[in-house]
Amino acid sequence: MASELDVAYVAQLARLHLTAEETKLFQKQLGDVLKYAEKLKEVNVEGVEAAAHAVPIFNVFREDTARDWFTAAEALSNAPRQTNNLFIVTKVVE
């Protein structure tokens, strides 16, 4: 399994630009980590339920009531670019 990792491809999926050196280094380092993780193949997991959480709690609801939250100014207080009470995004549709 380990050898199938293609760091350059996965970096595209993750929206992460990597330099050629980073790609090469991560390929080696993560290859080692995945090789170590291969021991999971030894475990018999037939019929075992996947644990998404350690404490199974489901369907947590709360009253649908309004509460004080950010004003627009507060929500925008850390925005790298903004105008007229709006976030400026990079052009999405050409």
Partner 1 sequence: MTKRDLPALSIVELRDLLRRGEISPAETLQALEERINAVDDKIGAYLEHDLAAATAEAEKVDMTLPLGGIPIAIKDLINVQGQQCTCGSKILHGYRAPYSATVIEKLRAQGAIPFGRMNMDEFAMGSSTENSSAQVTRNPWDLSRVPGGSSGGSAAAVAADIAFGALGSDTGGSIRQPAALSGIVGFKPSYGRVSRFGLVAFASSLDQIGPLTKTVHDSALLMNAIAGHDSRDSTSLNAPVPDYTKNLGRDLKGIRIGMPEEYMIEGVDPVVKNAVVAAVKQLGSLGAEVVEISLPHTDYAISVYYILATAEASANLARFDGVRYGHRAEKVSNLFDHYARTRAEGFGAEVKRRIILGTYVLSSGYYDAYYLRAQKVRELIRQDFAEAFEKVEALVSPTSPSPAFKLGEKTSDPLQMYLADIFTNAANLAGICGISVPCGFAEPESGKKLPIGLQLLGKALDEARIFQIAHAYEQSTDWHKTRPKI
Binding residues for partner 1 (CB under 8 A): 1, 4-5, 7, 10-11, 13-18, 22, 26, 29-30, 32-34, 36-37, 39-41, 43, 45, 48-55, 57, 60, 62, 70, 74-75, 77-81, 87, 89-92
Closest CB 84 distance from partner 1, rounded Å = 16
Closest CB 20 distance from partner 1, rounded Å = 13
C-alpha 94/C-alpha 74 separation (Å) is 31
Nearest to 72 by CA among 84, 81, 80: 84
Partners of 82 in the β-ladder: 87
